[in-house]
Structure formats: C-alpha cells, structure tokens
Amino acid sequence: MSFLNKLRLLVTAGQGITGSNIKVDVLDDPIAMFGDWYGQAQDSGIVLPESLTLATATKSGMPSARVVLLKSFDDTGFTFFTNYNSRKGNELKDNPQAAMVFHWNILQRQVRIEGRIERVSEQESLAYFHSRVRGSQIGAWASYQSSEIPDREMLAAKVKELEAKYQGKEIPLPPFWGGFKLVPTYIELWQGRADRLHDRYYFTQTDNGWQRTRLSP
C-alpha cells in the first residue's frame, strides 16, 4: 500500500461515527447514493473498494457466498463477471436471484442489495474481456472454475498450451464466460454511528420508483 493510501486511511478512519454522512433524508435514489458512497470509498484509500460478498442459492434454497469484484453499475443494476459453469454460475442459472453486500469498514458503511439476475449481452462481455490483461484472458480459458483438478501442474500446462495457440492472435471470448447483472429490488444503506445507534434505511422498488423506509439499528 502506498504512503498516500495509508494517509487516506488514517484520515478517514471511523468517519461517520461522530457525524452522519448519510444523505437519504434528501436523496430518494439509492443507486445515486451508492454511487456517492462508492466514490468516497475509492478516494479513502481502501484496498479494492469494489469487492463485495455475493450470495447465491441452489434451486432447493441451499445458500453459498463468496467475494467477487463489481465491474460496473448504473440505474439498471450491478455487474460482475465469472465462468458460467462455476458453482455460482450454475446456481444463478437454476435460481436467478442473488444478494450483494459491500462493507467499507473504515468508513463504517455497509450496503446490501437484493434482486434478480440477468446475463449481460455478449457484446458487453466481449468488451470487458478484451479490457483485461492478456494473462487474465488466458486464465479464463484455462480454468474450469469450481471443477476438481489433480494438481497445479495441470493448470500450468493448460496455460502454456493456450499461450502457444494464441501467440500473436487476439484471444476470443470463451463461450462459458461473461457477465451477470443484479437488477435490484431492495437496497439497504447502513451508516455506523456512536453507541450502536446506527442509521439504516432500506429502499424497495415500486411502480412509482423507490420507496424509502427507516429501520431501527
């Protein structure tokens, strides 16, 4: 971590405990509020502020969770990328609903998002795939994510084979890899405050837009 990031962390530590930074009393758009918080998390020096816990479930309701990275968001939802044949990919295919949690501890903030899952277009997946470094593109082809392998040597051999195959060529988008978008129906914003008297608001999607409700901490 750079000295500048360490300084930012020191300056922002505990922000929100002694004074509320939540603006939902005057802002009724939770995605815009998320964007404001996300920008502050990026500026704070937090390492990987885009990291989030993604929870999925099987068709029978057995849950699982893991950390992934947010790649983009807008009024239509929150996008991440993965192998469609991974455990989460298969669960999202069988049960296209999910939940996300962002936790920015140093800012004492948490955002919970729930909703339905859609695949992004192939064009969007292709554009993001080619924005990645070449090694990550090769890695997407080499890894049968969530499948058992005998050893790391098998993975290394597959990478070597693919590097030779695509030497001097553009690496195509794997047909089993791409983006998912969580289209939110529920968003909760949590701001830590002193004495555990936190500020909590949740928003639900209605025909007339977002409806805001305050929760007891």
pLDDT computed for residue 3 by the predictor: 61
pLDDT digits (tens, 9 = 90+) for 116-133: 999 999 999 999 999 999
Q: What pTM does this model have?
A: 0.86
The mean-pLDDT minimum among 44-58, 86-100, 167-181, 196-210 falls in: 196-210
- Counting residues of the chain whose pLDDT is more than 70, the rounded percentage is 88
Band (pLDDT 50/70/90 cuts) for residue 27 is: confident
Closest CA to 141 of 169, 172, 180, 179: 172
Number of DSSP helices (H) and strands (E) in the chain, helices first: 6, 9
39-to-32, 35, 84, 102 alpha-carbon distances in Å: 11, 6, 29, 13
Domain borders along the chain are 3-215
pLDDT computed for residue 13 by the predictor: 53
Kindly state the DSSP code that residue 197 receives in the 8-state scheme: -
pLDDT computed for residue 46 by the predictor: 94
CATH code of the domain occupying 3-215? 2.30.110.10
Report, as residue numbers or ranges, the catalytic residues: 196
**C-beta neighbour count of 216 within 10 angstroms:** 6
Residues 164, 158: Cα–Cα separation, whole Å: 10
